[in-house]
């Protein structure tokens, strides 16, 4: 199991309800921490919780949006 911290640029902002057009062009830097579930040359998938067969609350992040990624040490 590898714990990671990923800093990445988000290109979408999709709030619910009615909003002005300016609110949909928010590009921001996000930080996601979790368990590295999958990685290939295009993406990483970070999970919040895992057991032997499943994971929950996963976030897929395109590698082209990643600014930095740290692999965290565990004991």
Q: Where are the domains of the chain?
A: 3-72
Pair 69, 5: CB distance under 8 Å: yes
Q: Which residues contact 41 (CB under 8 A, 6 or more apart)?
A: 63
- Identify the pLDDT of residue 66: 96
In the prediction, which pLDDT does 14 show? 61
| pLDDT at residue 2 is higher than 60 | yes
Burial class of residue 7, CB neighbours in 10 A (0-12, 13-18, 19+):
middle
Q: How far apart are CA 72 and CA 46, in angstroms?
A: 13
Of 26 and 70, more confident? 70
Give the C-alpha separation, 3 to 72, whole Å.
5
pLDDT in tens, 13-43: 666 677 676 666 556 788 999 999 999 999 9
Instruction: Answer yes or no: is pLDDT of 65 > 80.
Output: yes
């Amino acid at each position: 199991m590898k714990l990671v911290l990923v800093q990445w640029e988000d290109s979408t902002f999709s709030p619910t309800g009615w909003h002005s057009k300016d609110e949909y062009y928010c590009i921001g830097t996000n930080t996601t921490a979790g368990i590295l579930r999958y990685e290939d040359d295009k993406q990483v998938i970070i999970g919040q919780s895992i057991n032997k067969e499943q994971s929950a609350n996963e976030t897929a992040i395109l590698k082209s949006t990643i600014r930095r990624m740290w692999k965290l040490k565990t004991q």
